[in-house]
C-alpha cells in the first residue's frame, strides 16, 4: 500500500522524480560556476517555454503573489490608470495590489463562471487612457479560462501594457507571449511549471522593460524593483555572478531540470495533453451529473476544474471520502460560494493513471455520500476522451 496520497489540488502539484532529485543536490553557493551556468540556462529556457525569445526573464525567490507584485509595482506609478479584468478571487487581488501603488483602478467583473465580453472591455478601453490592463488567464478560484490571444490584440490596438496572471496556466494552457503581444506573463513554480513552491517567475517584453526605464518616480517596492534585479538577471544570463538577494539555489537547480523536461515534451504536445486531460476530467464530472462553475467548454480551464457538490452532499463528507481513497483535492476558494464546490488540479506531470484514480476516488466518495449514479459512468467518460487519439 502506498503510504503517500496523490496530490490533485491546483498547486502544489505532483513533481517529477528528476526535479526532486535536483532539489536534493547539496546546496551550492550562488557564485559557484555550476550554479551560475544552471541559473543562466534556466533564464534562457524560460523564454522558450513562454515562447518569448526576445523577452527578459526573471527568477526571484517568492510566491505567485510576489510575481504579481513585481509586475504591478514596476509598471505602475501614482496616478496611472489601470484596468483589471476579474474572473474571480485573483482578479480582485490584483486590483487591490495596484491600488497600493497609487493606480486609478477600474474593474470589469465577469458574471460567476463566465468571462467579461470583449466588446465591453474594448468599450472601456475607449473611454480612458489606460497604462496597464491585467487579466487572470485561469483564475484558480473559478477554473474560468480567458482568451489570452484576444487580450494581446486589445493591448496592442489601444497601446496598453498587458499583464497575464498565468499562475495557474503557464506551461499548461496555450500561451504564445511574443506572437500574441502580451507584455508580462507571470507564474509561480509550484503549478504547471512543476517545481516545489518558492519561485516567482515572469517574462517581460522589451516594451514593458522600456516602460519601466521611462518611469518618472522610483518603484514603490524595494524588493520588487527591477533596478535591483535586472542587472542580476542579465549577469547570470551572461554567465557571471551578481548579487541583490540570495537566490533560492536548490529551487533554481530544480527549475532548470523541469524546464528541460517541459521542452523535451514540446510545447505544442504539452498544450494538447493538458487540453485532453481537461476535457476528459470535465466529461467524467458531467457524466456523474455534477455541474461546473465555468458556464461552458469555451471558458473552462484545462489545468483545473471546479465542480459543484451535488445537492444534499456536504463538502467535508465528500472530500473525506475521496481522501480515504488516497486522493487529495481542494475545497472552494471564492468566498460567496466557498462551501458549494471543490477544485481538482490536473496539470504538469499529471498522467492517465492520475486522472482515472481521481475520478474513481470521486465516485467512491459520492457512494459514501449516498449520491445516486451509475457506477463507473465517470470512469468510462474519462477513458473515452483519453482513448481518443485526436
Asked whether residue 138 falls in the same domain as residue 26, the answer is yes
Q: Is residue 320 part of a domain?
A: yes
Domain boundary at 231, 249, 265, which? 265
Torsion of CA 267, 166, 19, 278, to 10 degrees: -60
Q: What stretches in the chain show pLDDT beneath 50?
A: 1
Asked whether residue 205 falls in the same domain as residue 271, the answer is no
Domain boundary at 209, 234, 265, which? 265
Q: Rounded to an integer, what distance in angstroms lies between the CA atom of residue 15 and that of residue 22? A: 11
CA-based R_g, the chain, Å: 21
Asked whether residue 322 falls in the same domain as residue 381, the answer is yes
Task: Please count the structural domains in the chain.
Answer: 2
- Are 195 and 254 in contact by the 8 Å Cβ rule? The answer is yes
Asked whether residue 251 falls in the same domain as residue 323, the answer is no
CATH code for position 318: 3.90.1150.10
Asked whether residue 258 falls in the same domain as residue 114, the answer is yes
Q: Is residue 117 part of a domain?
A: yes
Asked whether residue 207 falls in the same domain as residue 294, the answer is no
* pLDDT digits 0-9 by tens, 327-385: 999 999 999 999 999 999 999 999 999 999 999 999 999 999 999 999 999 999 999 99
pLDDT of the residue at 390: 66
Q: Is residue 59 part of a domain?
A: yes
The residue written with cell numbers 506551461 in the block is 171
Domain boundary at 265, 292, 313, which? 265
Q: Grid coordinates in use for 270?
A: 504539452
Asked whether residue 149 falls in the same domain as residue 26, the answer is yes
pLDDT of the residue at 230: 98
- Are 197 and 177 in contact by the 8 Å Cβ rule? The answer is no
Asked whether residue 139 falls in the same domain as residue 271, the answer is no
Q: Is residue 338 part of a domain?
A: yes
pLDDT of the residue at 389: 74
Asked whether residue 196 falls in the same domain as residue 289, the answer is no
Asked whether residue 289 falls in the same domain as residue 378, the answer is yes
Q: Which residues pair with 58 in a beta bridge?
A: 202
Asked whether residue 124 falls in the same domain as residue 23, the answer is yes
Q: Rounded to an integer, what distance in angstroms lies between the CA atom of residue 245 and that of residue 61? A: 9
pLDDT of the residue at 1: 43
Asked whether residue 195 falls in the same domain as residue 274, the answer is no
* pLDDT digits 0-9 by tens, 280-323: 999 999 999 999 999 999 999 999 999 999 999 999 999 999 99
CATH code for position 232: 3.40.640.10
- Are 136 and 146 in contact by the 8 Å Cβ rule? The answer is yes
Sign of CA dihedral 74, 78, 81, 85: positive
Q: Rounded to an integer, what distance in angstroms lies between the CA atom of residue 245 and that of residue 364? A: 48
Range of the domain at 379: 6-11+266-386
Q: Is residue 211 part of a domain?
A: yes
Q: Is residue 1 part of a domain?
A: no
The whole-model pTM stands at 0.97
Amino acid at each position: 500500500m502506498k503510504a503517500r496520497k496523490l496530490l490533485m489540488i491546483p498547486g502544489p502539484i505532483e513533481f517529477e522524480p528528476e526535479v526532486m532529485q535536483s532539489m536534493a543536490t547539496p546546496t551550492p553557493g550562488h557564485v559557484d560556476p555550476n550554479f551560475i551556468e544552471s541559473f543562466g540556462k534556466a533564464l534562457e529556457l524560460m523564454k522558450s517555454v513562454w515562447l518569448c525569445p526576445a523577452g527578459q526573464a526573471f527568477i526571484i525567490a517568492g510566491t505567485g503573489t510576489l510575481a504579481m507584485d513585481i509586475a504591478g509595482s514596476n509598471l505602475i506609478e501614482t496616478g496611472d490608470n489601470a484596468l483589471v479584468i476579474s474572473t474571480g478571487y485573483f482578479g480582485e487581488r490584483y486590483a487591490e495590489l495596484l491600488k497600493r501603488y497609487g493606480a486609478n483602478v477600474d474593474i470589469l467583473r465577469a458574471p460567476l463562471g463566465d468571462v467579461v465580453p470583449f466588446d465591453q472591455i474594448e468599450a472601456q478601453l475607449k473611454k480612458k487612457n489606460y497604462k496597464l490592463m491585467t487579466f487572470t488567464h485561469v483564475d484558480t478560484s473559478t477554473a474560468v479560462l480567458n482568451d489570452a490571444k484576444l487580450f494581446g490584440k486589445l493591448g496592442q490596438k489601444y497601446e496598453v501594457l498587458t499583464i497575464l496572471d498565468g499562475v495557474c496556466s503557464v506551461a499548461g494552457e496555450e500561451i504564445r507571449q511574443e506572437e500574441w503581444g502580451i507584455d508580462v506573463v507571470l507564474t509561480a513554480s509550484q503549478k504547471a511549471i512543476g517545481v516545489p513552491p518558492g519561485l516567482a517567475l515572469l517574462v517581460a517584453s522589451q516594451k514593458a522593460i522600456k516602460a519601466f526605464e521611462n518611469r518618472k518616480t522610483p518603484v514603490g517596492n524595494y524588493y520588487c524593483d527591477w533596478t535591483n534585479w535586472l542587472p542580476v538577471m542579465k549577469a547570470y544570463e551572461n554567465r557571471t555572478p551578481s548579487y541583490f538577494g540570495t537566490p533560492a539555489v536548490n529551487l533554481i537547480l530544480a527549475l532548470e531540470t523541469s524546464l528541460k523536461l517541459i521542452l523535451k515534451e514540446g510545447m505544442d504536445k504539452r498544450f494538447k495533453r493538458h487540453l485532453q486531460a481537461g476535457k476528459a476530467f470535465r466529461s467524467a464530472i458531467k457524466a456523474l451529473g455534477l455541474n461546473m462553475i465555468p458556464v461552458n467548454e469555451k471558458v473552462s480551464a484545462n489545468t483545473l476544474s471546479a465542480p459543484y457538490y451535488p445537492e444534499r452532499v456536504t463538502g467535508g463528507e465528500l472530500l473525506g471520502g475521496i481522501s480515504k481513497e488516497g486522493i487529495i483535492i481542494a475545497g472552494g476558494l471564492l468566498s460567496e460560494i466557498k462551501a458549494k464546490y471543490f477544485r481538482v488540479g490536473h496539470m504538469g506531470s499529471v498522467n492517465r493513471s492520475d486522472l482515472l484514480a481521481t475520478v474513481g476516488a470521486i465516485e467512491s466518495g459520492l457512494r459514501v455520500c449516498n449520491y445516486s449514479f451509475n457506477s463507473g459512468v465517470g470512469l468510462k467518460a474519462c477513458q473515452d476522451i483519453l482513448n481518443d487519439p485526436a
